[in-house]
């Protein structure tokens, strides 16, 4: 929605005779009449047209009668639609398609409770790291930070936290697509929060960023194993292996732990790339559940 900045009546940002501080641009009105005006501009037009007789009259002039009737029907329908929540509105304003925004709004780990828990864990870990002042690296933070995106992604799609999981499984939307729609923002949010926590550890410099590649490696490996092991066992196994690896590394050296060395970072990058490839190649296996291993169900030519 753009205000009518070229309006010769001088309504740009100023109240005119009918009390309006702006009017819908003619191009937008034409798009509205054709049903081509997209949200959130569409919402603004809907709201404005209700109150503005001048724009309604102009709409009647620019649109053909059939399209206008359809427009009024759409307006009537829109008025019935409950306003979306904060997250959904924010996503739409950021340019996310409204149907994708709704799928994201249903993502369990994008709720405030989960995000609050992640922030709390990071704050405590950062405080502990600053208090300990270990010379080599913030060990506790670097051990924990890769696990948060792994857990977030694991919980974003699956029967553990998603109450509509079974409905999603039997829907025609491809499971891999739904998983990706939810994984990308969850991973992004987790990495941003981890990044902000890293900024709170300035004394370690770039060493405090050594969680990033392990985080990507763990998350990608968890996703790649999910079709075979299920959405609970796969990330659980990956997280457990990470912890065991750190414990073993700590017992074998007094210096920088192996995963945080240059070699360790290189291996993490390789694992992340390999697991991402396997995840993509196994995308069709996210299409269904089976009785024993969720996601590993139907395959072409199977018994069903």
Partner 1 sequence: MSDLPTTPTVSASGLTLRYGGTAALDDVSVRLGEGVTGLLGPNGAGKTTLLRVLATAVPPDKGAFTVLGNDPGTTAGRQEVRRALGYLPQAPGFHPDFTAFEFVDYVAILKELTDRTARHREVRRVLDDVALSDVRGKRIKKLSGGMRQRVALAAALVGDPGFLVLDEPTVGLDPEQRMRFRELIARAGEGRTVLLSTHQTEDVAMLCHRVIVMVRGRVRFEGTPAELTARAAGRVWSSTERDPGAWAGWRTGTGSFRNVGEPPKDADLVEPTLEDGYLLTLDGEASEVAAA
Which residues would be at the binding site for partner 1 (CB under 8 A)? 35, 39, 74, 77-78, 80-82, 84-85, 97-99, 102-103, 105-106, 111, 162-173, 178, 284, 287-291, 297-298, 300-304
CB of 21 or CB of 290, closer to partner 1: 290
CB of 24 or CB of 169, closer to partner 1: 169
CB of 202 or CB of 302, closer to partner 1: 302
Q: How far is the CB of 106 from partner 1 (least distance, A)?
A: 5
- Closest to 213 in 3D by CA, of 236, 240, 241, 194: 194
CB of 152 or CB of 214, closer to partner 1: 152
CB of 65 or CB of 302, closer to partner 1: 302
Determine the distance from the C-alpha atom of residue 197 to the mean position of all C-alpha atoms in its chain, rounded to a whole number: 19
The phi and psi torsions of 30 (rounded to 5 degrees) equal -65, -45
Region label for 19, one of left (φ > 0), alpha (ψ between -120 and 50) or beta (otherwise): left
CB of 161 or CB of 209, closer to partner 1: 161
Q: How far is the CB of 80 from partner 1 (least distance, A)?
A: 6
N- to C-terminal Cα separation, the chain: 51
- Closest to 142 in 3D by CA, of 155, 156, 128: 128
CB of 63 or CB of 297, closer to partner 1: 297
**Distance in angstroms (rounded) separating the CA atoms of residues 131 and 7:** 62
**Distance in angstroms (rounded) separating the CA atoms of residues 268 and 70:** 56
Region label for 300, one of left (φ > 0), alpha (ψ between -120 and 50) or beta (otherwise): beta
Q: How far is the CB of 271 from partner 1 (least distance, A)?
A: 30
CB of 94 or CB of 170, closer to partner 1: 170
Report helix, strand or coil for 150.
Answer: helix
Q: What residues are paired with 194 via a beta bridge? A: none
- Closest to 231 in 3D by CA, of 150, 148, 112: 150
Calculate the CA dihedral of residues 85, 122, 183, 237 and round it to 10 degrees: -140
Which 3-state string (H, E, C) describes 62-75?
HCCHHHHHHHHHHH
User: DSSP code of 283?
Assistant: G
User: In angstroms, what is the C-alpha Rg of the chain?
Assistant: 26
């Amino acid at each position: 929605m753009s205000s009518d900045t070229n309006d010769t009546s001088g309504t740009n940002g100023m109240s005119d005779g009918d009390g309006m501080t702006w009017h819908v641009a003619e191009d937008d009105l034409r798009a509205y009449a054709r049903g081509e005006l997209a949200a959130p501009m569409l919402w603004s037009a809907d709201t404005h047209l209700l109150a503005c007789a001048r724009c309604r009259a102009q709409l009647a002039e620019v649109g053909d009668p059939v399209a206008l009737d359809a427009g009024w029907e759409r307006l009537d329908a829109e008025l019935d639609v409950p306003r979306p929540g904060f997250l959904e509105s924010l996503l739409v304003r950021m340019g996310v398609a409204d149907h994708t925004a709704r799928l994201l709004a249903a993502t369990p780990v994008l709720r405030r409770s989960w995000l609050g828990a992640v922030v709390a864990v990071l704050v405590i870990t950062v405080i502990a790291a600053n208090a300990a002042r270990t010379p080599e690296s913030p060990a506790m933070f670097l051990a924990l930070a890769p696990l948060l995106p792994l857990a977030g992604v694991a919980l974003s799609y699956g029967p553990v936290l998603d109450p509509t999981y079974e409905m999603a499984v039997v829907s025609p939307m491809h499971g891999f697509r739904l998983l990706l729609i939810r994984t990308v923002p969850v991973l992004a949010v987790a990495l941003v929060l981890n990044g902000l926590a890293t900024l709170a550890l300035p004394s370690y410099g770039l060493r405090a960023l050594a969680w990033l590649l392990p985080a990507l490696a763990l998350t990608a490996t968890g996703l790649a194993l999910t079709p075979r092991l299920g959405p609970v066992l796969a990330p659980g196994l990956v997280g457990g292996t990470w912890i065991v690896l750190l414990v073993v590394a700590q017992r074998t050296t007094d210096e920088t732990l192996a995963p945080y060395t240059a070699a360790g970072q290189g291996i993490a990058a390789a694992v992340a790339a390999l697991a991402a490839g396997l995840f993509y190649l196994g995308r069709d296996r996210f299409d269904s559940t089976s009785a024993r291993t969720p996601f590993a169900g139907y395959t072409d030519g199977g018994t069903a």
